[in-house]
Amino acid sequence: MVVTGLGHQKPTFLLTNDLPEAPPPRQVIMDYVGRNRVEHNLGEKITFFHMDCLASEVRLNVNFDLTLTACAHLLYQCFARRLKGFETATPSSLYRKFINTPGRVEIAEGQLNVIFEKRSHNPILVEAGFERPTPPILWCGGLRLRMLFP
């Protein structure tokens, strides 16, 4: 099947091996569009998280890498939902504005303090409640994590 008008300059050629009976052309196109959307979404995640080993010959590695990539993307989405105005931000934007931030770590008074340098996006993190201490972190000797913003 040859289809035009899908947003590409050249026509799209679709081949199907649905036997014994091929689905109607509309269903073939809808399946293609859905698959393309999933592949594009995965491609964005893989590009940002630098998981370029999908060409690996070991199927287990590919599945594991893809799973970790999807998990990392989900964590970024959860983080973004807490930030007012950044609910739909891309992982690369969140990384640039919030994650890749200089600071220092100190242990004092039973707390693990992460002290961030002054940045324009710090008030958004404070508003989202990131300055509140966490419950004790058992694998860190029971210390509580506290993020401090100037």
Q: Can you list the positions of beta strands (E) in 31-133?
A: 103-108, 111-116
Q: Is the pTM of this model over 0.75?
A: no
Same domain, residue pair 40 and 79: yes
Q: What is the arithmetic mean of pLDDT over 38-58?
A: 56
- CA–CA gap between residue 67 and residue 72 (Å, rounded): 9
Q: Count of domains in the chain?
A: 2
Check whether 94 has a pLDDT greater than 80. Answer: yes
- CA–CA gap between residue 131 and residue 118 (Å, rounded): 14
Same domain, residue pair 19 and 81: yes
Check whether 110 has a pLDDT greater than 70. Answer: yes
pLDDT band at 62 (very low <50, low <70, confident <90, very high): low
Same domain, residue pair 87 and 110: no
Check whether 105 has a pLDDT greater than 50. Answer: yes
Residue ranges making up the domain that contains 23: 2-94
